[in-house]
């Protein structure tokens, strides 16, 4: 879905975050990377709480990429353990806060108990309307685009779709993100300026904000500041500037 044009002064409806720098934050303090990930979960809680009062309707968090499987087994186990605990512990609070939780990414490679919890919490929160929290788990944008193309090809091969019916809307509808509008603002923490295979299709017209803080030190104030600065940017979607 393509987000509607919003004039200067409006806040972002959909904010997506690449939560980077857990490991570096911990290493700089002489601590294990796992401590950085644990602190990262605290910031996840803070940001989820801070988002609806800022007018955010969709919050997408990049929790685990298809490339993250290359990390040492120990670290992958720590992350999977944290995801599992998060799902068990936070389901009640998300539901009570009227937040819908959905996952994007290829969940079939994740441990079965986590897949089951993901299904349960999605089902439990599906009618919640205050905000949609989209968590990217085993997510890779290129894999998502390939999958969408394959699905469209199947439709064409079955005679249900003609090639000229394949347009941007059709491709968007076959993405994992089909439930939500495109992101207006993508934030990456830890000073890195890369997109890292995140929402490549959906972020075509998004604004980007790269902040110096590592994820474990990204406070609700930092978040509000970045979101507030978005309102002052002029989004042109390829059109001429209003300033001439």
* Residues labelled catalytic: 20, 68
CB of 104 to ligand FPP, least distance (A): 12
Rank residues 104 and 227 by Cβ distance to ligand FPP and give the closer one.
104
- Which of 41, 101, 118, 227 contacts ligand FPP by CB under 6 A? 41
Rank residues 101 and 148 by Cβ distance to ligand FPP and give the closer one.
101
CB of 239 to ligand FPP, least distance (A): 35
Q: What is the 3-state secondary structure (H, E, C) of the chain?
A: CCCCCCCCCCCCCEEEEECCCHHHHHHHCCCCHHHHHHHHHHHHHHHHHHCHHHCCCEEEEEEEEHHHHHCCHHHHHHHHHHHHHHHHHHHHHHHHCCEEEEEECCHHHCCHHHHHHHHHHHHHHCCCCCEEEEEEEEECHHHHHHHHHHHHHHHHHCCCCCHHHCCHHHHHHCCCCCCCCCCCEEEECCCCCCCCCCCCCCCCCCEEEECCCCHHHCCHHHHHHHHHHHCCCCCCCCCCCCCC
Q: Does 40 bind ligand FPP (CB under 6 A)?
A: yes
Q: Does 140 bind ligand FPP (CB under 6 A)?
A: no
Sequence-distant (6+) residues with CB within 8 A of 135 are 60, 61, 63, 101, 102, 103, 104
Rank residues 28 and 236 by Cβ distance to ligand FPP and give the closer one.
28
Q: Does 61 bind ligand FPP (CB under 6 A)?
A: yes
Number of residues that bind ligand FPP (CB under 6 A): 19
Which span sits near ligand FPP by CB under 6 A: 34-42, 92-100, 149-157, 160-168?
A: 34-42
Which span sits near ligand FPP by CB under 6 A: 36-44, 104-112, 141-149, 234-242?
A: 36-44
- Which of 10, 80, 82, 200 contacts ligand FPP by CB under 6 A? 82
Q: Does 23 bind ligand FPP (CB under 6 A)?
A: yes
Rank residues 117 and 206 by Cβ distance to ligand FPP and give the closer one.
117
Chain contacts with ligand FPP (rule: CB under 6 A): 19-24, 37, 40-41, 44, 61, 63, 68, 79, 82-83, 86, 135, 215
């Amino acid at each position: 879905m393509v987000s509607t044009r919003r004039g200067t002064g409006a806040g972002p409806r959909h904010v997506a975050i690449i939560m980077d720098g857990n490991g570096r934050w911990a290493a700089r303090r002489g601590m294990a990377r796992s401590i950085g990930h644990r602190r990262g979960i605290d910031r996840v809680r803070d940001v989820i709480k801070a988002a609806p009062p800022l007018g955010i309707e969709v919050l997408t968090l990049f929790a685990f990429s298809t490339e993250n499987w290359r990390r040492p087994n120990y670290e992958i186990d720590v992350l999977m353990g944290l995801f599992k605990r998060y799902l068990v512990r936070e389901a009640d609070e998300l539901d009570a806060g009227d937040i819908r939780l959905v996952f994007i990414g290829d969940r079939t490679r994740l441990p079965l108990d986590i897949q089951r919890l993901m299904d349960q919490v999605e089902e439990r929160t599906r009618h919640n309307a205050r905000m949609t929290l989209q968590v990217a788990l085993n997510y890779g944008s290129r894999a998502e685009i390939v999958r969408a193309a394959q699905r469209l090809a199947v439709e064409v091969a079955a005679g249900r779709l003609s090639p000229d019916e394949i347009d941007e809307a059709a491709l968007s509808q076959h993405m994992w993100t089909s439930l939500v509008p495109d992101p207006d603002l993508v934030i990456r923490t830890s000073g890195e300026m890369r997109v890292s295979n995140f929402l490549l299709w959906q972020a075509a017209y998004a604004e980007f904000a790269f902040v110096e803080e590592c994820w474990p030190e990204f406070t609700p104030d930092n978040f509000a500041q970045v979101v507030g600065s978005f309102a002052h940017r002029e989004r042109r979607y390829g059109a001429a500037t209003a300033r001439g």
